[in-house]
Amino acid sequence: MLTKNEQIKNTLKDTKERRKHMKCRVYTVKLDHSHLNKDSLIRLKRLFLEAKWRYNYCVSHPNVFSIDDKITAVSVKVKDQFEMRQLGQLSSHMRQSIITRTQQNIHSLARAKAKGRKVGRLKFKSYVNSIPLKQYGNTYKLINRKYLHIQRIPQKLRVNGLEQLPSNCECANATLLHQHGDYYVSITTYTPREHRPAMVMPTQSIGIDFGVKHQLSLSNGVRIRYKVPVTRRIKQLCKQLSRKQYRSKNWWKTLYKLLKAYAKTTNIKRDIRNKLVHFLAINFQMVCYQTENLRAWQRLWGNRMLSTSLGGIIRMLETKVHTPVEIDRFFPSTKTCSRCGHQRPMSLAERTYACHHCGLVIDRDYNSSCVLEHEGRRLLGRGPTEVTPVETNTSTLMLEYLNQIAYVEASMVAETGSLTALA
């Protein structure tokens, strides 16, 4: 006869094994601020205040891995003295989750230090914007696809956006967020995995050249360009904020409006980044790219780099692609001919690469992406690919998909006439 703890462990183990074969997706819903009563608003604010106290207590503890999760009172520094504060709004599961999060942060710093990176120690926070809700049905629960119940908040919270959750989804952990004055809940769900064929036939490899004029240039001849500039509303709100009295009521209202405007442009760039990386991951097995010095690009081109998210694309390629191949940033991909391998100096003003050794005339970025693909295949011990004209059918399918993404313009290098020498 199994004990209760053994039965719980077996159930959790079976759940983890089942979810390995399911599709994980995170949905973010918003609490309807107009339906929150005064008591619920006070409790929500108290939740994040106590979460800050709990996290700072964990950081100040000499041994984070031996903290008692049953402690309901922590010491808080007020000016030059310490006072004891009660954690009456945080539930036991929330307190445990904050301790676990702190321990995970320490493990992440240790892994980064083991890789040779320069790391420091955890710092105290002046505010906490997220609280883990790790157990569905106890810490939080959905009610009738319209309301949400959070532990130790009596009111049923009206939520906007629950209709986007699939009917056959299985809810797991969630996170309560406080962003620019509003409250959100990020829910992790699991659904049965569906097999979806790739939009084009998966090829063995592809090279990507990152740039400022054309953000992505692929070795199959496709160029991707997108730009999400700073909106006029953001500029107006920045001017209004500068005229308000610091930390006044109107100053906070304007600040929240400004944060919402910035969040909108950030979400657009995140959506573009996710769709581009997803497209590359499902259609290409091996992706070869060069690690660029984006900080230097930021100093040179400023706002032109701010309107893109190249750094996020590079980070996602490291984890989402089946076989990512990173090539050193000092590799001369721009100076090398993709046909014969001869090198010659190139200035930034030259947009067409003309090889004096074999006579190849080709677009500068397209040539660089082909060279990166050759180098990536060489690093993995595979044979080089030949520079050939782009396949019309494959390129048409890619352009149809990419041009459907908002703010994205995809075109072929052949449209500029730079591939005429390859015909």
Domain ranges of the chain: 19-104+118-192, 203-422
DSSP-derived secondary structure for 285-325 = EEEEEE---HHHHHHHHTHHHHT--HHHHHHHHHHHSSEEE
- Facing residues of 100 across strands? none
Bridge-based pairing state of the strands 157-160 and 147-150? antiparallel
The two three-digit tokens of residue 378, written as one number: 């060489």
Can you tell me which residue has the tokens 């769709």? 275
Phi/psi for 130 (5° steps) reads -145, 140
Which amino acid would we find at residue 160? N
> Torsions phi, psi of 141, nearest 5?
-160, 140
CA pseudo-torsion sign 97, 102, 103, 104:
positive
- Which burial class, exposed, middle or buried, applies to 150 when counting CB atoms under 10 A from its CB (0-12, 13-18, 19+)? buried
| pTM recorded for the entire structure | 0.79
Helix (H) or strand (E) holding 398: helix 392-402
**3-class SS of residue 332:** coil
pLDDT one digit per residue (tens) for the chain, 423 residues: 667 677 666 777 777 777 878 889 999 999 999 999 999 999 999 999 999 999 999 999 999 999 988 889 999 988 889 999 999 999 999 999 999 999 999 999 999 999 888 899 899 999 999 999 988 999 999 998 899 999 999 999 999 999 999 988 899 999 999 998 899 999 999 998 876 655 554 557 899 999 988 999 999 889 999 999 889 999 999 999 999 999 999 999 999 999 999 999 999 999 999 999 999 998 898 999 998 888 888 888 877 888 888 889 999 999 899 899 999 989 999 999 988 888 988 888 888 999 888 888 989 999 999 999 999 999 888 766 654 544 444 567 788 889 999 999 999 886 444 444 333
β-partners of residue 353 are: 362
